[in-house]
Amino acid sequence: MLRLLTVPTRLRYVSQLSVLAALYFVVAKISLLAAIPPGYATSVWPPSGIALATILLYGPRLWPGIWIGAALVNLTVQSSVVAAVMMGSGNVLEALVGAELIKRLIGVPRQFQRGEDVFKFVVVAAAASTIAATIGTLAMAIVATLPGGIAMSWWTWWQGDTTGMLVVTPLILAWTTVPAIPWTARRKRESIGFGVVLVLVGYVAFGNILTSPVFSPLLLVLMLPLVNWAALRFDQRDVVVTIATLCAMAVGFTVAGRGPLASGSVDAALLQLLVFISAVAVTGLSVSAVENERRRTMEALRESRNELERRVFEQTWELRRSEETFRLLVEGIQDYAIFMLDKHGKIVSWNKGAERINGYLANEIIGQHISRFFPVDAIERNQPQRELAVAKSQGRYEDEGWRVRKDGTRFWANVVITPLYDQDGQFRGFAKVTRDMTGLKRIESLEQRERQTNEFLAMLGHELRNPLAAVRNALNGIQCCWSQ
């Protein structure tokens, strides 16, 4: 691998391996302070979480750093090269297999987005821990005697690795992302208050020596409201910090011989306590993931609502602009009376042309029946209702006839009535267009009179020409005789 890298890249790669190996070694050495005999297995093993987070974030190329750190720390226990090589290999395989399964199932969970992702992560962590626990227990059985038996050693190793993954890996992954919730002044005040309550509750639950041993285990339940508080009110980064803080306080006070489970051996107390903390961690991560999902859903709904409001505003604006354009068009027409009627024939709109032709202002005629425009004899024949009925049944009505203005004068009108329906096919009323044809009617009348006059003169001329024909013939005969 090193041959394929340039010199600066090699140096950077070697530096990364050295830092990872040193970090793994230091944290592992501290964790082994709580190890059970012969000193390899401990119920507190944060290095498993560091290894898994490293492979998830930077890929499998950094596995040598994990192997070096694990092998060196196990070599310091009993100076067994075989045990160090086997245990280092088991820790590497555990991280590689766990990271690959997590990537395949949920990707790189810098923050858990769904509750089922937390469940998948827990299952993978529990399954991957069996690799290191099995290889490590086998190595211990080869090089040393196991006072507690193989089963106890395997369980301790598995519990330590699983808890380390559940607590440390989400802590590292979550803090590689930016906060999902902005740090407002109110949130800062709440965070300070939450931190104070967290320390106090942690001390009461794990460090208080005055509480009765009978009731002290019940104090562990106080962790659940705190974790849920963090999950519901803060970001997932704050949740994992809360879990890690409670875990550190629980382990520290228990190793010091204090806490609700410190009456027995430290190893047994840590095993029981970390099982409970693992359950609390899973609960907190699940609630936080569900809350994150709810926040994303609400944000998506807000975005959808904003988009819908924007579209409605745009469409409303377009509709208003279209209506305004149509209104200006209709009102600007002076030669046609264009107005609408309701289902019963009452006027509901009025334009300038209607005002000019009929003589009514809008406030005078709106709400009145169209029979106002008909002569008395037409009203008696029920002509207005008949026109509306024909228009509704046939889809259109057109006619010419006399109509009456406001001042009582008559005008000859061309009328077109059209029924109106909405998008659902429901009948809404009528549109009526009226044109004043009085001038054309007068012209047609004059033309007809002129035509009749011409016809009369033509006929008169014909009748006059017939009697004069004989006289003309006689005069022609006399003229001929005179000439002879």
pLDDT in tens, 173-228: 988 887 766 778 888 898 899 999 988 888 887 776 655 455 556 667 778 888 88
Q: Is 340 helix (H, G, I), strand (E, B) or coil?
A: strand
Q: Give the model's pLDDT for residue 476.
A: 66
Q: Is the pLDDT of residue 58 over 60?
A: yes
Q: What is the pLDDT of residues 364-419, one digit of tens each?
A: 999 999 999 999 999 989 999 999 999 999 989 998 888 999 998 988 888 999 99
**Would you say 419 and 391 are in contact if contact means Cβ atoms under 8 Å apart?**
yes
DSSP string, 89-121: HHHHHHHHHHHHHHHHHH---SS--SHHHHHHH
Q: Please give the pLDDT value at position 176.
A: 86
Chain segment 219-275, per-residue pLDDT in tens: 677 788 888 898 888 888 889 999 999 888 888 888 777 777 666 677 777 888 888
CA distance 377 to 383: 9
pTM of the model: 0.66
Residue 465 predicted with pLDDT over 70: no
- Residue 9 predicted with pLDDT over 70: yes
In this predicted structure, what is the pLDDT of residue 384?
A: 92
Burial grade of 36 (CB within 10 A; 0-12, 13-18, 19 or more): buried
Asked if the model's pLDDT at residue 455 lies above 70, the reply is: no
Beta-carbon contacts of 140 under 8 Å, excluding residues fewer than 6 positions away, are: 38, 40, 41, 83, 146, 153
CATH superfamily name and code, 334-442 = PAS domain (3.30.450.20)
Going by C-alpha positions, the residue among 193, 67, 185 that lies closest to residue 135 is 67
What is the per-residue pLDDT for 109? 84
* Residue with more model confidence, 295 or 53: 53
pLDDT greater than 60 at residue 284: yes
* In contact, 226 and 195? CB cutoff 8 Å: no
Indicate the Cα dihedral angle 26, 30, 31, 35, nearest 10°: 130
Query: What are the start and end residues of each CATH 3.30.450.20 domain in the chain?
Result: 334-442
Q: Could you tell me where the DSSP H helices lie in 266-367? A: 266-332, 352-358, 362-365
Q: Which of these CATH numbers, 2.60.40, 1.50.10, 3.90.25, 1.10.1760, describes 1-178?
A: 1.10.1760
Residue 126 has pLDDT above 60, yes or no: yes
Confidence of residue 19 (pLDDT cuts 50, 70, 90): very high
pLDDT digits 0-9 by tens, 130-158: 999 999 999 988 888 787 788 989 999 99
Which residues contact residue 271 at a Cβ distance below 8 angstroms, ignoring those fewer than 6 apart?
43, 155, 156, 159
Res. 317 pLDDT band, cuts 50 70 90: confident
- What is the residue-averaged pLDDT of the chain? 84
Q: Give tens-digit pLDDT for 73-103.
A: 999 988 789 999 999 999 999 999 999 999 9
Confidence of residue 33 (pLDDT cuts 50, 70, 90): confident
Confidence at residue 468, expressed as pLDDT on a 0 to 100 scale = 55
Q: Does pLDDT of 125 surpass 90?
A: yes
pLDDT of residue 446: 57
Lowest mean pLDDT among 16-20, 276-280, 427-431, 458-462: 458-462
Domain with CATH 1.10.1760 in the chain: 1-178
